[in-house]
Amino acid sequence: MIKVGIIGATGYAGAELVRILLNHPEAEIVWYGSKSYIDQNYADIYRNFFELVDADCLGDNMEELAQKVDVIFTATPQGFLAGVLTEEILKNTKIVDLSADYRIKDVATYEKWYGITHKSPQFIEEAVYGLCEINRGLIHENTRLIANPGCYTTCSILTAYPLVKEGLIDPDTLIVDAKSGTSGAGRGAKTPNLFCEVNESIKAYGVTNHRHTPEIEEQLGYAAGKEIRINFTPHLVPMNRGILATEYATLTKKVTYDEVKAVYDKYYANEKFVRVLPKGVCPETKWVEGSNYVDVNFVIDERTNRIVMMGALDNLVKGAAGQAVQNMNLLFGLAEDTGLKLVPCFP
């Protein structure tokens, strides 16, 4: 059994890790880290786990934890892991970091968009960007540090990746209009996230300056083979879970539905967790809820020579905890879908 520690176990992503790992046949959680709720019973914080988890919350001493577990998931605020990570820790354990600390290779870019100084840039190069469908080959039993992709990012990238990679769209025309459920905002007690503020409303936020922008640009830039600049606009939707990305780009040449479909299939036909929907079917976040799937599809607009791409995932699963477990499976040589055969829950 893989011994697992979670730092930030009382955030929504942390709790989702618990939900998934409780049914993982090869892993057991031995450390529920939560500085805010230290010494409190974990199931008192998340009563869905009553009689399922019998443990108290522990602190965030990474050095101690690293000696006790095979892998640590850090579902922590930006800057936490960068501030405490040491070579010593990485010698003792693997880390899957759900924060942004090691996602962006260029430190200056990280520091500009996040507005904080990176405390341990020396580990950035080593970190593997854990978008499994693209970087699977880089993740193996010797890998020590995974930068688990952001929720918006995972959705945005996977939706457009095949077309960027194959040069079918001009990446500098890419516009990503994304819509997220409210769990993406976390469990912090803030007025704008109150039920009455979110319910019966929709709004954009972080317009032109959301932190997932450079992450999308970097990864799709690799696919494009050049630096790119995109527009990314997130929106808050009155629902708990789910991200839908609607993406627009100009086609580089005249293509048919079948040609584009073939390109998507080239990359995704054998991917368990990416489902290219049948022609004419638009992804709905509900169809992937609770599962590790990303559903994608597209419509060509001959009138404007653009293509509209759409992708949907559950922000807490494929957008966070599910992908983190997928990475863990790769790190330990397990089948990639171990513990992830989650059937979407409808309605």
- As annotated, the active-site residues are 151
Which one of 124-132, 159-167, 204-212, 258-266 is the stretch in contact with its own copies (CB under 8 A)? 204-212
Of 97, 101, 215, 295, which lies in the binding site for its own copies, with binding defined by CB under 8 A? 295
What minimum distance in Å lies between the beta carbon of 161 and its own copies? 19
Residue keyed to tokens 């978008």: 131
Is 204 a binding residue for its own copies by CB under 8 A? The answer is yes
Which among 320, 300, 318, 319 is positioned nearest to 310, based on CA atoms? 300
Q: Which of these segments, 95-103, 135-143, 149-157, 297-305, binds its own copies (CB under 8 A)?
A: 297-305
Q: How far apart are CA 334 and CA 178, in angstroms?
A: 33
Residues 6+ apart with CB under 8 A from 54: 41, 43
Strands 27-33 vs 71-74: parallel, antiparallel or unpaired: unpaired
Cis ω for the linkage preceding 171 (within 30 of 0): no
279 sits near its own copies (criterion: CB under 8 A): no
Among 84, 90, 116, 277, interactor with its own copies by CB under 8 A: 277
Region binding its own copies by CB under 8 A among candidate stretches 107-115, 125-133, 157-165, 270-278: 270-278
Closest distance of CB 235 from its own copies, Å: 7
Task: Please select the residue that binds its own copies; options are 130, 171, 242, 322, rule is CB under 8 A.
Answer: 242
DSSP string, 222-249: HHHTS----EEEEEE-SSSS-EEEEEEE
The reply to whether 284 sits near its own copies by the rule CB under 8 A is yes
Kindly tell me which residue out of 59, 77, 79, 344 binds its own copies, with binding defined by CB under 8 A.
Answer: 344
Per rule CB under 8 A, count of chain residues that contact its own copies: 83
The angle, 0 to 180 degrees and rounded to 10, between the axes of the packed helices 212-224 and 107-114 is 150
List CB contacts of 194: < 8 A, sequence separation 6 or more: none
**Phi-psi label, residue 205: left if phi above 0, alpha if psi -120 to 50, beta otherwise:** beta
Q: Is 198 in the site for its own copies (CB under 8 A)?
A: yes
Which secondary-structure segment (H or E) carries 242?
none
Q: Which is nearer to its own copies, 48 or 61 (CB)?
A: 48
Cβ count within 10 A of residue 347 = 4
- Spell out, one character per residue from 94 to 133, where the chain touches its own copies: x when CB under 8 A holds, - when not: ----------------------------------------
Reading the block at residue 200, the tokens are 């019966």
Minimum CB–partner distance for residue 154 and its own copies (Å): 17
